[in-house]
Amino acid sequence: MSRTHSSWIFTAQCPSRIGTVDVVTRFLREENCYITELNSFDDRDSQGFVIRVEFRPEAPEFDSNAFQQRFSSRAAEFDMQFELTAPGTRMPVVIMVSKSDHCLNDLLYRYRTGQLSIDIRAIVSNHPDLEPLAAWHNLPYHHFPITAETKAEQEAQVWQVIEETGAELVVLARYMQVLSTDMCSKLSGKAINIHHSLLPGFKGARPYHQAYDKGVKLVGATAHYINDDLDEGPIIAQGVEAVDHTHYPEDLIEKGRDIECLTLARAVSYHIERRVFLLQKGKTVVFAS
């Protein structure tokens, strides 16, 4: 079990100013809280500051509402926006998927074994193929077919599920549809996508076969927040492995799937543990565990 399950998490973001670390750590000392992990970063390009602290209260009783009220006055001096997350918090999640099951199956395993502190509220797909997998986990499965003519209607159905379930995060676990500008806007900073990252890049059909034909030496995956630029959203995590001439297309595909699973799970973990901060121009700060 990670420390996050037993620690409070404090995160904050504000303009760069002298005393930003001190105002947080001094307050925690005054509140009799022991810091177990601290990360901060000052970005000289955006003149922005971010901080993440894990801590445990030493007093037997801890009033989180009073804690936040008392800190608010100090935060105001720094124009600081902050959030406090309780131990054991399980983020409500909706997973979107098409036909490939490797990322979904991996997330479900980590969910079932408690490796990911998430509460999967529903699985949404444009195909019926993976409904038995959802049923085995006793999870609601929504099949919403989509065509070019029904895209707006289908996305309205998806959005209704997201709102009704109270999902705070949407995970695109190989959902092979391009989301509309409106949907990307609604899910900004709240939806994570995964895709292969072959080096050099190969677009279009059968990318792994193209990579094989060119003798590619690296395969990988990128997990990022979605935006209106296809596969170009703010990056959360990446994975890469070396390959050589002994790897045929089917070997590259298998290795790529493994990397996608690991990279997506890592990105989801970073997000739910409040380790990811978005700065200006889509840059991310990630305090990896």
Same domain membership, residue 164 and residue 77: no
Name the more confident of 141 and 46.
Answer: 141
In this structure, the answer to whether residues 177 and 253 fall within a common structural domain is yes
Last residue of a domain, one of 85, 120, 137: 85
Whether 35 and 165 share a structural domain? no
Q: How confident is the model at residue 136 (pLDDT cuts 50, 70, 90)?
A: very high
Nearest to 81 by CA among 72, 90, 93: 72
The residues, any chain, with a CB within 8 Å of residue 58's CB and separated by 6 or more, are 32, 33, 34
- Residues 86-114 as b/e (b if ≥16 CB within 10 A, e otherwise) read eeebebebbbbbbebbbbbbbbbebbeee
Mean pLDDT of the chain: 93
Distance between terminal CA atoms of the chain?
13
pLDDT of residue 2: 45
Q: How many CA atoms lie within 13 A of 248 on its CB side?
A: 1
Beta bridge partners, 52, equal 11, 39
The per-residue pLDDT for 230 is 72
76 burial via Cβ count (<10 Å: 0-12, 13-18, 19+): exposed
pLDDT exceeds 60 at position 35? yes
182-239 pLDDT per residue, tens: 999 999 999 999 998 875 677 777 888 988 899 999 999 999 999 887 778 899 999 9
Euclidean distance between CA atoms 273 and 89, whole angstroms = 9
> What is d(CA 280, CA 46) in angstroms, rounded to the nearest whole number?
6
**Structural domains in the chain (count):** 2
> Are both 44 and 147 inside the same structural domain?
no
The pairing of beta strand 191-196 with beta strand 169-172? parallel
Report pTM: 0.93
Do 79 and 108 lie in one domain? The reply is no
Residue 180, pLDDT above cutoff 60: yes
* 92, 166 Cβ separation under 8 angstroms: yes
> Domain boundary residue among 85, 110, 137?
85
Q: Which pLDDT belongs to residue 141?
A: 98
What's the confidence (pLDDT) of residue 205? 78
What is the rounded distance in angstroms from the CA atom of residue 187 to the CA atom of residue 195? Answer: 18
Q: What angle do CA 137, 91, 157 make, to 5 degrees?
A: 70
Q: Residue 37 maps to which CATH number?
A: 3.30.70.260
The pLDDT of residue 199 is 59
> Residue 4 pLDDT > 60, yes or no?
no
Claim to verify: residue 55 and residue 138 sit in the same structural domain: no
CA dihedral (63, 68, 70, 74) in degrees, to 10, reads 150
Neighbours of 177 (CB within 10 A): 16
Residue finishing a domain among 42, 64, 85: 85
- Percentage of the chain modeled with pLDDT above 90: 84
Choose between 280 and 18: higher pLDDT: 18
**Residue 87, SS3?**
coil
Stretch (H or E) spanning 273:
none
Distance of CA 195 to the CA centre of its chain: 14
| 187 & 214 share domain | yes
Do 160 and 195 share a domain, yes or no?
Answer: yes
Whichever domain contains 145, its CATH number is 3.40.50.170
pLDDT in tens, 57-92: 998 889 999 999 999 999 999 999 999 999 999 999
Supply the range of the domain harboring residue 124. 91-286
- Res. 1: pLDDT tops 90: no
Do 137 and 235 fall within a single domain? Answer: yes
Residue where the block lists tokens 């990911």: 116
Q: Quick: pLDDT tens for 102-129.
A: 999 999 999 999 999 999 999 999 999 9
Please name every residue paired with 55 in a beta bridge, in sequence order, or none if there are none. Answer: 8, 35
- The Cα 185–Cα 225 span in angstroms is 11
| pLDDT score, position 3 | 46
Q: Could you give the residue numbers annotated as active site?
A: 231
Pairing of strands 284-286, 276-278: antiparallel
- Give the pLDDT mean for 173-184: 94
Instruction: Give Dmax (Cα) for the chain.
Output: 64
